[in-house]
Amino acid sequence: MLQKIGYRYLILIALAVVVAVLPLIFPSSYYFRVASLVWVSALAAIGLNVLMGSAGQVSLGHAGFFGIGAYAVAIGPAHFGIPPWAALLLGCIISSLLAYLVGRPILKLKGHYLAIATLGLGVLVALVITTESRWTGGPDGMPVAKLVLFGWRVSGSDTWYWVTGGLLILGTWIALNLNDTPTGRAFRALHDSEVAARVAGINVARFKLQAFVIAAAYASIAGSALALMNGFINPDQAGFLHSVEMVTMVVLGGLGSVVGSIVGAAVLITLPQVLTVFQEYEHLLLGFIIIVSMIFMRDGIVPTLSRILAKRTQA
């Protein structure tokens, strides 16, 4: 246990160092933007990893919650005059509430059936956002007011780099906290054997719902952060492709590994940027790399690499 506590802070310190040191090697503000995008995506992926990696329940509609968060900070200030930071919290509450209400019936489903039900939820949210153009600007999207905190106007890609980096560290801390607590153990237990978890007195339905709500809250806050950072939002952020992208980040990085979700997000965001030099072959190569890495690192990048590393140090 002592090792575990040390391990938790080691990860946080390493992450903080990475966030602090990266700007030193950034040649232009474009890099700040890409890195901020990684931090935001990683935040959403970490939340989804609580649901998928720890509790073992799939969600193919998670971009829906991302979209709710994003449109909350767009619609709140524009139509209701709510300050952006309050709209962020409100979006998080709405997402959590929706996850709670919808999760109760659909989390009774398992495997593929749950995947389809969550997919439906995501599609539904995207549909509402696209069609309610009076509120959302429809398929064209809508502008997002600048975030103002205590008179401080948050703008510029380097400022957003630090804000999103801070959010990611906070999100990582919470996700790491959860792992070795009664709640975290209940998640992992019901993942491995639902019947044994129930016999141990775990209310499986309740804990699945908790994991679903946590994941929705993470996605919502990440969505709000992205919308505020970009100053613009369109329905693609709530769409099915974005849901798939989030799942890919979690699986590619390593199910159940918090660091894995960050690495998965980093790979999936930066790889297309790197591959642009190959022009029309970009997507082909991206797909190829993902397939190859899933074949050779089936448990995900981080768990596989740490296992190899552990073997090396033992030998």
Partner 1 sequence: MTILAARDIGISFGGVKAIDDVSFAVSPGQILSIIGPNGAGKTTLFNIVSGVYERDQGQVELSGEDVTGLTPDKLATRGLSRTFQNLQIFQRMTAAENVMVGRHLRERCNLLADLFRLPSVTRQNAETRDAALAFLDDVGLRSSADVPAGSLSYGACKRLEIARALASEPRVLLLDEPAAGCNAVETEEIEELIRRVAAKGIAVVLVEHDMKLVMKISNHILVLNRGKPIAEGKPQEVRDNPAVLEAYLGKHGAREAARA
**Residue 143 three-state SS:** strand
Task: Tell me if 107 contacts partner 1 by CB under 8 A.
Answer: no
Nearest distance, CB of residue 310 and partner 1, angstroms: 12
> What is d(CA 15, CA 10) in angstroms, rounded to the nearest whole number?
9
Residue nearer to partner 1 on the CB measure, 157 or 179? 179
Give the Cα-Cα-Cα angle 224, 300, 202 (nearest 5 degrees): 75
Nearest distance, CB of residue 191 and partner 1, angstroms: 7
- Binders of partner 1 among 186-215, rule CB under 8 A? 186, 188-189, 191-193, 195-204, 210, 214
CB 64 within 8 A of CB 121: yes
Residue nearer to partner 1 on the CB measure, 191 or 242? 191
Number of continuous H segments (helices) and E segments (strands) in the chain: 14, 4
Nearest distance, CB of residue 78 and partner 1, angstroms: 32
Nearest distance, CB of residue 273 and partner 1, angstroms: 33
Residue nearer to partner 1 on the CB measure, 238 or 259? 259
CB 53 within 8 A of CB 44: no
Task: Tell me if 60 contacts partner 1 by CB under 8 A.
Answer: no
Residue nearer to partner 1 on the CB measure, 93 or 196? 196
Nearest distance, CB of residue 189 and partner 1, angstroms: 5
Residue nearer to partner 1 on the CB measure, 129 or 190? 190
Give the helix, strand, coil percentages of the chain, each rounded to 5: 80, 5, 15
Backbone φ and ψ of 142, nearest 5°: -150, 155
- Binders of partner 1 among 254-273, rule CB under 8 A? 256
CB 242 within 8 A of CB 123: no
Q: How many residues bind partner 1 (CB under 8 A)?
A: 30
Residue nearer to partner 1 on the CB measure, 200 or 274? 200
Residue nearer to partner 1 on the CB measure, 3 or 276? 3
Residue with tokens 């401080």: 152
- Binders of partner 1 among 126-185, rule CB under 8 A? 174, 177-178, 180-185
Beta-bridge mates of residue 143: 232
> What is d(CA 67, CA 186) in angstroms, rounded to the nearest whole number?
29
> What is d(CA 45, CA 222) in angstroms, rounded to the nearest whole number?
9
Task: Tell me if 224 contacts partner 1 by CB under 8 A.
Answer: no
> What is d(CA 225, CA 70) in angstroms, rounded to the nearest whole number?
7
Nearest distance, CB of residue 260 and partner 1, angstroms: 14
Nearest distance, CB of residue 172 and partner 1, angstroms: 12
Residue with tokens 């992205």: 226
Interacting residues with partner 1 (CB under 8 A): 1, 5, 174, 177-178, 180-186, 188-189, 191-193, 195-204, 210, 214, 256
